[in-house]
Structure 1
C-alpha cells in the first residue's frame, strides 16, 4: 500500500513540475540560423524571441548561429546541429530556402524551415507572410492622417506585397493622395534609405512607411525630428514616439515559430510553401497613435475583423 502511494505521489510531483512545458512528441532540439545578428531589435531579435518561446513551451534545447550568410557556413552549421541531435532547423530569411533545397536530402531526419522562399523537398517548408493586407491597412492609416495628401513608401524590393497593398489602401481611403514609392535595393542600407527620406521630405511627403527592417528605425527617428508621421514595420514601434508612429504593420515571427514547432511536434507540419495572415494570429496592426480619431480606429478594426472572416479587403 505504501509502495503504491509512493508511485502515485511521484507521478503527481512529475505532473506538477511539467504543467508549463508541452509534452514533447517528434521535437527533440531546435536550431536557428540568422544571416546577421539577433541583436538588431527587429527581424533577428524576433527570431531569437521565437526560439525562447519554443524552449519554454516544449522544454527542449535550442541553438542559434549568427552570421550565417553563405552556403558554406550554412552547411557547416547544419552538420554541427545534426551532431547535437537537432531535428528542426529555422533559416531566418528567404536565402535559406535555396540552401535547404540543396542539403536537406542529406539529412532526412531534420526538417528545414525557411522564409518567403520555394521549398521543394519533403523535409523542407517555407513560411510566407501574406503581407498585402497589412500593407493595405497601413496605407489606409497613412492616407487618413496625411495633411498634405502625400505619403511615401521606402521599400527594400519591388516584390514586397506590402508595398502594393499600402498603395491600394492609401488610394481606397483617399483617392486624392499621392503615393511616392522608392526602393533601397537592400534590407539594411540605411544610408540610401535616409537619402530617399530627405528627397521625400523635400517633395512634401508627411507620412512615411519604411518597409525594410534594417533601416526602419533610423528613418522613423528622422521623421520624428522633422515632425512627420510614420507607419512602423515588422515590430510595434510605438515606443519610438506615439505622436510619430501612427501604427505598425506587425509580423509576429515569434508566434509563428511557436506554431510551426507545435505542428512539427504533433507530426502535422506540411512540406512546401505555407502562407499565414491576420486570421492565423501572426499578422496585426500595432498600437494606434492617440492622434488618430476613435471613429476611424473603429472603422479600420471592423474592416480587419471582416477580412479575418471573409478574406476580402474593403475594396473587393
Structure 2
C-alpha cells in the first residue's frame, strides 16, 4: 500500500487516467504499451495487486507510470489486480519480453522481485514500499509513510470530540503498520489521553468489510477514522459518512469520496517517487538498495481541507503546519515501528 512499506499499504475518483495507448486484457490483466520502435527507448513495466480505478494507492502508481512515459519518453506496460500466486510469473514474463525495468507496486511484491531479479541480472527490479535491495539490480522505493501517519494522527487528536479515534489497515505489514503506529504517536503528541482503536482486515479490496470495521469503531465511540487499505479504504470513509463521523484520507487526496466527511488526507506522491526514481535510472544513477523519500523531498504532503476548511479551526491548521515543519527540520523524530503495539 512503508510495507515499507509493503505493499502499501486507499481511494477513489481523483485522478484522470488518459493513457493514449492500446490496451489488451489477458487473464484479468490489462496492459498498455507505447508503440515506439526506437530500440533505445527505456522499457518499463509495472505490476499492481489492485485496480488502477481505486482512486488511491494503485491509481497513483498508474499516474506515476503515465507521467514518466510523457516526461521521460519511456515505453510502458502495466498489469493490474495481479493475483498473489502470479507475482513471480508476472515479473518473469516482463523480463523475458525485454523490459529494462519491472516495478512491483507494493511491499507484497518484494519476495518475488528478490527471487526473479537473480534470474535476470541485466533487468532492474523496483519495489514500491519495499524495505530491501539486492545487488546488482534490485532496489526498493521507500516512502516514509510514518511521517504522514504521524500528521494524520495529530489532526485526529486535535479534532476528536469523543476522545476516541480509529485506524483500519489492510494487512499488518510494515508499510501499513508503520503509519498506523505513527498515527498513534501523532495523536498522543497533541492529546495524551486519546484512545486509539486499530484493526487489520486482511484485505485490500473488501470494501464492505472495511466499512463494517469502521462502523464498529464508530459504534464504540470513535468519531474520526482513517483507512490505510487501498481500495477497501473507501468503505471506511463511506462508513464514516453514513454514521455522521469524520474520516481522514490516506495515500491520495480522498476528499472526493465524501466531501465534508474527509477532514484532510495524508498524500503519498507516489507519482513523484516513481518519476524521480525512473529519471535517475535513465540518467545512469541506479543503485541497488533502499531509496527513501519523505516530507522534505516533497513526495509526502498534507491535502487541503477542502469543504472541511470551516470545520478545522485556524489554530489547529497552524499547529499542523508547525508539526510538519518540525518533522522536516528534525525537531520531531517520528519513530518507525513496524510491529503492531497495544493501545
What TM-score, normalized by structure 2, do the two folds share? 0.78
Q: Are residue 63 (structure 1) and residue 83 (structure 2) matched? A: no
**Stretches of structure 2 lacking an aligned partner (at least 5 in a row):** 1-37, 336-343
Matched with 1:310 is 330
**Whole-Å separation in 1 of the counterparts to 2:238 and 2:113:** 37
**Whole-Å separation in 2 of the counterparts to 1:172 and 1:210:** 20
Q: Are residue 229 (structure 1) and residue 249 (structure 2) matched? A: no
Q: Are residue 267 (structure 1) and residue 280 (structure 2) matched? A: no
Q: Is the 8 A contact 2:168 2:236 kept in 1?
A: no
Q: Are residue 104 (structure 1) and residue 117 (structure 2) matched? A: yes
What TM-score, normalized by structure 1, do the two folds share? 0.84
**Stretches of structure 1 lacking an aligned partner (at least 5 in a row):** 1-23
Aligned residues: 290
> Residues 116, 108 of structure 1: CA spacing in aligned structure 2 closer, same or farther, 3 A cutoff?
same
Q: CA RMSD in A?
A: 2.2
Matched with 1:187 is 204
Please give the per-residue CA displacement for 1:266-304, whole angstroms capped at 9, x wherever unaligned: 111221122221112111111122111122212211221
Q: Of 213, 218, 224, which aligns to 1:196? A: 213
Offset, 1:240: 2.6
Please give the per-residue CA displacement for 1:157-200, whole angstroms capped at 9, x wherever unaligned: 34411111111111111122111122212323333322222221
Matched with 2:161 is 147
Moved more, 189-198 or 217-226: 189-198
**Whole-Å separation in 1 of the counterparts to 2:56 and 2:280:** 25
> Residues 96, 296 of structure 1: CA spacing in aligned structure 2 closer, same or farther, 3 A cutoff?
same
Higher helix share: 1
Please give the per-residue CA displacement for 1:76-117, whole angstroms capped at 9, x wherever unaligned: 55434543x421111112122211211212222211001233
Please give the per-residue CA displacement for 1:235-291, whole angstroms capped at 9, x wherever unaligned: 101223342111111111111110101110111122112222111211111112211
**Whole-Å separation in 1 of the counterparts to 2:118 and 2:331:** 36
SS in 2 for 1:185: coil
Offset, 1:312: 2.6
Q: Where has structure 1 moved over 3 Å in runs of 4 or more?
A: 70-74, 76-82
Please give the per-residue CA displacement for 1:198-245, whole angstroms capped at 9, x wherever unaligned: 221221111111121122112212211221111101110122334211
